[in-house]
Structure formats: C-alpha cells, structure tokens
Amino acid sequence: MTATVPPDERHEGAPAGRPERPVGPLVARAVVFVIIAGAFAWGASGLDASWARLRSAPGDGWAIFRLMWPPDFATELDRGVIGKVLESVYIAWIGTILGAAISLPLAFLASNNVSPSFIRLPIRQLFNAIRAVPELIVAVILIAITGLGPWAGALAIGLHSVGTLGKLSSEEIESSDRGPVEAVEACGGRWISRVRWGILPQVMPVIISYWLFRFEVNVRASAVLGMIGAGGVGAELISQLNFRNFPEVGAVLIITIAVVIFIDTISSAVRKRIIAGGAGDDQSRMAVLFGDLVGHRGG
C-alpha cells in the first residue's frame, strides 16, 4: 500500500485527493504483530500441541460435557453438596473480612498523603510481595502447617486479599481530595482526625465496593481451594472427577455456577448503588446506608 510510495513524492499528490496514509503506524503495527506472533509460536512450541491433538481437543472437551448430561442432583444432594458450596462461601466471607480489616489501616500507612516514606515504602513492598504469591500456594503451605480445613483456606484467602485490597485502597486514598484534610488541619485536627474526618468519608464508598468485588473473586478462589484440601466445593468436584462420575460432576458444576452468579449479581448491584447512588438528585438508599456505616453524609 503506502509503503510503495517513495517518501519524496508523498506531499506532491493531488491537492483534492485522499491524504496519504502515514507509514509510521503501519511499521509499528507490523512490529507488534511480529512480536506477538513470535511469542505465540515460542509458547506453542513448548506445549506439545500437535495438529492431531488440536483437532481432537474440542471433541474431547465436548465429550466430557455430554457425559455430564443429565446431571445427577439427587446423589449430590445426598452427599451434602449444598453444605460444601456454603462452606466455600463462608471461607470466602471470612477471608474477605480478614483481608478488609487488616488492609484498611495498612492502606492508610501506605499512602503518600498520610504517612512518611520510611513507613510507606516497606508496606507497599509488602503488598506487592503478598500479591506475587497466588493464594493457592499460600494455602498449600498453610495446610502443611495448620493442617487441613476451612480455616487454613480462609487464612490463605485473607492474606492474599490484604495484598490486593491494600494496593487498591491505598491508590484510592492517594487520589482523594485534599480539601477536607486541609479543613480539618485548619481546625487544629491532629493526624488521626485528619484521617478519620478528612479522608475516610471520601474513600470509604469506593473501598467498600473493592471489598465486595474481592468477595466475588474470593468465592471462586475458595471453591478452588477445596481441590487441595482446604474445605469447600472443590474437594467434591475433584473426588467425583477422579471416579469419573460425570453426572455428579455436572450437578456440582451447575450448583457452583448458580451460587457464583447469584453472589456476583447481588454484589455488583450493591456496588453500583454504593458508587453511583440512585438516579437523579435523590441519594440512593444504599449510598445513605453505607454512608451511615462510615459516618459519611454525602451531599
């Protein structure tokens, strides 16, 4: 296309004609394409993905789902699958509460408008360090130390949540408006008053919505934790899959999907209300409610 036009002729086209396409973006596009294609080829080379395997994989995957139909709910309900799904939800909830409770004070200490750099930087690195290790790996270690059970799972999820929530919350705190803080300062407020009355009311709605979002993520994480023995629905899935009881697997999957979607829907509705409030000038019930929770009356 454009690449064939010699550079010195580029500005000499007919004045009313279509402007020439710049060459720079095309070159950049080609470079990006080559990099991605190269990375993909390198990656695929290590996965022993022969053509035969690639061709049969969708069929094999589909066969599994075919075998799951019709799902066997009766057996699964007898085996107490509801209790196991609920156990996953409990683990996620306690993990989120732990993460929220520990991360909130730490997030303030990690923010540049609240704390000095010799406190801030180590806490930041702590958040980064925690986030770099997946919760499942944390759970593997905790299970070795504390033994099997839901409490180990909740601890692992809580620990990981401290990292993610701490990072998100401290970013929110750093981008908060300085006005209220200056007002408190002008009234002679000490450090703790500045945080409590100047910053906390501003950032709390967003931080609470992060907590809820984390709870949604944690529900999935805790379902997975069962697979390595930390309690919850994952253990049930693993044992049924290992015995190739596909109708039971189907039932476990459907119940898990239903619970996860149910929780996601409620949580995202609450999050929307907290962040956006109701329509028009009226403050939504939910925003007022959560405003009350944190001592904030938005105007």
Partner 1 sequence: MTADSSAPEPAAPGGPGGRPKKPRRKPLTLVVVVGLVLWTWFTGRQVGFDLTTFIDLWTNPLWEKFWPVPWEWVLDRDNVIDPLVETFQIAVVATVVGCGLALPVSFAMSRLTTPNGGTYWVTRVVMNIVRAVPDLFWAKLLVTAVGIGAFAGTWALSIFSLAVMVKLFSETIDGADPRPLEAARAAGGRHVPSVRAGVLPTVLPSYVAYSLYIFELNIRASIVLGLVGAGGIGRVIEAQRQYFRFGRILGVLLIIFVVVFVIEQISVALRRRLV
Return the residues of window 249-288 that contact partner 1 according to CB under 8 A. 249, 253, 256-257, 260-261, 264, 285, 288
The dihedral sign for the CA sequence 186, 187, 190, 196: negative
**Please, which residue, 116 or 296, has the CB nearer to partner 1?**
296
**Please, which residue, 75 or 239, has the CB nearer to partner 1?**
239
Is there binding between residue 205 and partner 1 (CB under 8 A)? no
Is there binding between residue 221 and partner 1 (CB under 8 A)? yes
Is there binding between residue 184 and partner 1 (CB under 8 A)? no
Number of alpha carbons in the 13 Å side-chain half-sphere of residue 284: 15
Pull the structure tokens for residue 129: 């360090």
Site for partner 1 in 40-59 (CB under 8 A): 40, 42-49, 53, 56-57
Pull the structure tokens for residue 289: 């409610």
Is there binding between residue 296 and partner 1 (CB under 8 A)? yes
Is there binding between residue 64 and partner 1 (CB under 8 A)? yes
Is there binding between residue 132 and partner 1 (CB under 8 A)? yes
Is there binding between residue 94 and partner 1 (CB under 8 A)? yes
**Quick one: which of 255, 267, 208, 200 has its CA closest to 85?**
255
Choices 74-82, 112-120, 186-194, 218-226 (CB under 8 A): range interacting with partner 1: 218-226
Is there binding between residue 185 and partner 1 (CB under 8 A)? no
Instruction: State the DSSP string of 8-43.
Output: GGGGGS-TTSPPPPPHHHHHHHHHHHHHHHHHHHHH
Among 126, 151, 174, 247, binds partner 1 (CB under 8 A): 151
The 10 Å Cβ neighbour count of residue 164 is 20
Choices 10-18, 69-77, 186-194, 222-230 (CB under 8 A): range interacting with partner 1: 222-230
Is there binding between residue 187 and partner 1 (CB under 8 A)? no
3-state SS, one letter per residue, for 86-127: HHHHHHHHHHHHHHHHHHHHHHHHCCCCCCCHHHHHHHHHHH
Site residue total, partner 1 (CB under 8 A): 76
Site for partner 1 in 4-33 (CB under 8 A): none
Is there binding between residue 298 and partner 1 (CB under 8 A)? yes
In this structure, the chain runs to a length of: 299
Q: How far apart are CA 196 and CA 190, in angstroms?
A: 10
